[in-house]
């Protein structure tokens, strides 16, 4: 009997081993599911530029082919025991095309995880069939160009833990109020809800899942009193309710949010004081209450974990809290456009990780801390529009990473600190509207990336010496020296070096901003005079090419080399002592929008070629010594008398003084051709007459018979005299 059992064991052993081994291996992907995935793949093309957010691109579907088991395809995950496809992760896959409502994707009924974010589905509607995938716990359709109404069927997915359908188009997606209520009522297991830029158009939400760790409802048109219920969600880590119409104060007690790391309530209509309990939250890292109406003082920060603090555009007052200057991980500090007062404590230099410091538009006084130039991580330093005084005694060391320095609108005196030459990454320098007394700092031209330089409204003086360095100011796009005491001739060699101005902006990345910086929505605001107005540019485009040397004491001629700066949009040389003529080369400035040469001593005629400047919106040539007829046609037919007043020698439209005849009227092609033929005839006649005249003189002298010739001369003089009297 024992022998029989032994024989049976050896006979069954291979089968038992195979059974045990096969049970430990994953099952192959079912053929119908592989086919469904391939059909889904073929509905789209792969476009590397399908999303601006994807760096690098992850084109998962490129690995999908029949020669491999679909469970091994990139982005596809299967259940180990059954082989059923349960996860599809196609984040940033470059998919582009229409997402059809009957997509083969919906044949994968066991899906638990779908991530189709950061693709381009070209304005497709979100299919109601997503609501039939009852096993889904994760659904991410964010930033993939879906549009229209989010179907109410999504609320049927009662197992959902993550729902993300955010957009970047405020008019792209909307959620009916009934759907919103259903989402909050049925999706009781939600951990993460992201509906940024989805039009909810609802009063404040009430019934949130108690499991929520992430709530993103920015730009969703939420309105009404701030939802106090939000601050009772003890698991909440990320709360974004910015750019809505929420009103009222923040609840006084938020101490229950012990896990909160990110708090963004910016751009609402919130008011009152900021509760002291917020400053005690132990995990808080990102804190943005900007663009509201909060008032009062800031309490002392007890949390030591902060790395973003953004409180701009409120009515906060008092000194900058010392506890804020003790945040060792702080990277972004923006307190601009408030009523903060007092001095800037040198303790601010203890913030070793700080990259952006914006204290502009407050009531700060005293001197600039000397140590600010030694902060090696700071890229943005904005202390503009305060009451800072004294000299700029900051020493900028060679290790600094400064990209923007804005000290506009203070009471700073003395000279431009020579140590600025160490700021080798500097692109934006605004020292305008102070009391600086110095000669032109031509050495700043040695900064290789400097694009914007404003020294306007100071006490700079003397000539701008010629710069013999070829690369000096090569990248400059805006140079503003208005309202100083500069004298001497215009700096011809400086204009020669403005290489970036010699390129029309449309040929080089037109929508990029100069020295732009996005954290906290920081904008490098610049005051410029353009089109006759002082404007505040919240961001400066690369295409904004400006030269403003107005209200100084420059003299001499207008150099024709200005015509080489073909990228110029604004040229303002008004209120100086310039003379000579307007160079005809200015007609090469094909994108020029504003030209102001008023209040100088410029003479001669207005070059007729300037009529070709089709972008010219503002022209001011008033109070000069110009003469002749004003050009006609195109933009010149739109300018009013004020553009020419104070030039007694000018005539023609729009002035009442007529030039007479057709002088100054632009010729059409036929008239130009006729004039050409006329001149050809005149030249031919002159040539023939010259030959005949010389022949007659030769005959007269050779025959010694001048009587007939003298009679002819008398008769010719009589004809000329008669014609002259007619005129």
pLDDT, tens digit (0-9, with 9 covering 90-100), for 618-642: 999 999 999 999 999 889 999 999 9
Beta bridge partners of 294: 272
Structure tokens at 41: 């793949």
Task: Compute the radius of gyration of the chain from its Cα atoms.
Answer: 38
Contact yes or no for 351/329 (Cβ under 8 A): no
Of the listed ranges 31-35, 201-205, 381-385, the least confidently predicted one is 201-205
Average pLDDT, the chain: 85
The predicted pLDDT at position 677 comes to 38
504-507 long-range contacts (CB < 8 A, ≥24 apart) are 504/566, 504/567, 504/590, 504/591, 505/541, 505/542, 505/543, 505/545, 505/567, 505/591, 506/543, 506/591
- The pLDDT-based confidence of 526 (bands split at 50, 70, 90) is confident
Structure tokens at 200: 């909810």
Q: Which pTM does this prediction carry?
A: 0.84
For the chain, which domains are there?
462-651 (3.80.10)
Q: What is the full DSSP assignment across 369-409?
A: PGGGGG-TT--EEE--SSEEEEE------TT----EEE--S
Phi, psi angle pair for 203, to nearest 5°: -70, 175
- In whole angstroms, give the CA distance from residue 668 to residue 655: 23
The predicted pLDDT at position 197 comes to 94
- The pLDDT-based confidence of 317 (bands split at 50, 70, 90) is very high
- In whole angstroms, give the CA distance from residue 113 to residue 89: 7
pLDDT value at 719 more than 50: no
Work out the end-to-end distance of the chain between its first and last CA atoms, rounded to an integer number of angstroms: 147
pLDDT value at 268 more than 60: yes
Of the listed ranges 456-470, 482-496, 532-546, 661-675, the least confidently predicted one is 661-675
Higher-scoring residue by pLDDT: 690, 39: 39
Please tell me what DSSP assigns to residue 675: H
The predicted pLDDT at position 253 comes to 86
237-247 residue pLDDT tens = 999 999 999 99
pLDDT value at 70 more than 50: yes
Contact yes or no for 505/497 (Cβ under 8 A): no
Contact yes or no for 575/566 (Cβ under 8 A): no
The predicted pLDDT at position 50 comes to 81
- In whole angstroms, give the CA distance from residue 496 to residue 488: 17
- In whole angstroms, give the CA distance from residue 280 to residue 484: 50
The predicted pLDDT at position 567 comes to 94
Cα angle 526, 530, 533 (rounded to 5 degrees) comes to 95
> pLDDT exceeding 90 applies to what percent of the chain?
67
175-224 residue pLDDT tens = 877 777 788 888 999 999 999 999 987 766 667 888 999 999 999 998 88
Phi and psi based region of residue 148 (left: phi greater than 0; alpha: psi -120 to 50; beta: remaining): left
Handedness of CA 33, 36, 42, 44 (dihedral sign): negative
Higher-scoring residue by pLDDT: 128, 727: 128
Contact yes or no for 88/29 (Cβ under 8 A): no
Kind of pairing between the strands at 95-96 and 173-174: unpaired
């Amino acid at each position: 009997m024992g022998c029989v059992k032994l024989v049976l064991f050896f006979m069954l052993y291979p089968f038992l081993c195979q059974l045990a081994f096969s049970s430990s291996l994953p099952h192959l992907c079912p053929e119908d599911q592989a086919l469904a995935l391939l059909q889904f793949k073929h509905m789209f093309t792969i476009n590397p530029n399908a999303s601006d957010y994807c760096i690098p691109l992850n084109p998962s579907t490129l690995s999908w082919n029949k020669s491999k088991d679909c469970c091994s395809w990139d982005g596809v995950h299967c259940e180990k025991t059954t082989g059923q496809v349960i996860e599809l992760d196609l984040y940033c896959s470059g998919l582009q095309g229409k997402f059809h409502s009957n997509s083969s994707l919906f044949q994968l009924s066991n899906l638990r995880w779908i991530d189709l974010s950061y693709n381009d589905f070209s304005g497709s509607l979100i299919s109601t069939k997503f609501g039939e995938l009852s096993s889904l716990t994760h659904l991410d359709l964010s930033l993939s160009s879906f549009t229209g109404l989010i179907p109410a069927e999504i609320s049927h997915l009662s197992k959902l833990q993550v729902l993300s359908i955010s957009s970047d188009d405020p008019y792209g997606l909307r959620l009916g109020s009934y759907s919103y209520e259903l989402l909050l009522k049925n999706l009781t297991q939600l951990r993460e809800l992201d509906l940024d830029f989805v039009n909810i158009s609802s009063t404040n939400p009430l019934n949130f899942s108690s499991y929520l760790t992430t709530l993103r409802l920015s730009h969703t048109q939420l309105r009404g009193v701030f939802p106090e219920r939000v601050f009772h969600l003890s698991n909440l880590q990320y709360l974004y309710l910015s750019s809505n119409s929420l009103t009222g104060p923040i609840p006084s007690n938020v101490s229950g949010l012990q896990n909160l790391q990110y708090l963004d309530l910016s751009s609402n209509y919130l008011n009152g004081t900021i509760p002291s309990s917020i400053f005690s939250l132990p995990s808080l890292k990102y804190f943005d209450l900007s663009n509201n109406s909060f008032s009062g003082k800031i309490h002392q920060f007890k949390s030591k974990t902060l790395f973003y603090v953004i409180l701009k555009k409120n009515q906060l007052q008092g000194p900058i809290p010392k506890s804020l200057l003790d945040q060792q991980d702080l990277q972004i500090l923006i307190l601009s456009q408030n009523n903060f007062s007092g001095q800037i404590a040198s303790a601010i230099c203890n913030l070793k990780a700080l990259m952006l410091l914006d204290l502009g538009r407050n009531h700060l006084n005293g001197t600039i801390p000397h140590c600010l130039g030694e902060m090696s991580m700071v890229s943005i330093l904005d202390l503009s529009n305060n009451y800072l005084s004294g000299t700029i005694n900051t020493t900028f060391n060679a290790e600094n990473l400064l990209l923007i320095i804005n000290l506009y609108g203070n009471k700073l005196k003395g000279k431009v600190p020579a140590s600025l030459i160490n700021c080798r990454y500097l692109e934006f320098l605004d020292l305008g509207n102070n009391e600086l007394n110095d000669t032109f700092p031509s050495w700043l031209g040695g900064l290789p990336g400097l694009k914007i330089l404003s020294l306007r409204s100071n006490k700079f003086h003397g000539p701008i010496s010629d710069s013999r360095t070829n690369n000096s100011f090569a990248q400059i796009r805006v140079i503003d020296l208005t309202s100083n005491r500069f004298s001497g001739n215009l700096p011809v060699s400086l204009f020669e070096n403005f290489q970036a101005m010699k390129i029309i902006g449309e040929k080089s990345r037109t929508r990029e901003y100069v020295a732009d910086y996005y954290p906290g929505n920081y904008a490098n605001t610049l005051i410029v005079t353009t089109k006759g107005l002082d404007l505040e540019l919240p961001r400066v485009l690369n295409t904004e090419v400006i030269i403003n040397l107005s209200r100084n004491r420059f003299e001499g001629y207008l150099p024709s080399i200005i015509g080489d700066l073909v990228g110029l949009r604004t040229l303002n040389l008004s209120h100086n002592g310039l003379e000579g003529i307007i160079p005809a080369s200015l007609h090469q400035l094909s994108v020029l929008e504003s030209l102001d040469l008023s209040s100088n001593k410029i003479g001669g005629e207005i070059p007729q070629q300037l009529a070709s400047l089709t972008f010219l919106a503002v022209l001011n040539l008033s109070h000069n010594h110009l003469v002749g007829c004003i050009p006609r046609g195109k933009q010149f037919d739109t300018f009013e008398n004020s553009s020419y007043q104070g030039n007694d020698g000018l005539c023609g439209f729009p002035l009442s003084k007529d030039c007479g005849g057709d002088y100054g009227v632009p010729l059409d092609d036929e008239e130009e051709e006729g004039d050409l033929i006329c001149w050809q005839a005149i030249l031919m006649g002159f040539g023939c007459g010259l030959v005949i005249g010389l022949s007659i003189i030769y005959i007269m002298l050779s025959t010694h018979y001048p009587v007939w010739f003298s009679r002819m001369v008398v008769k010719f003089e009589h004809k000329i005299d008669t014609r002259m009297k007619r005129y």
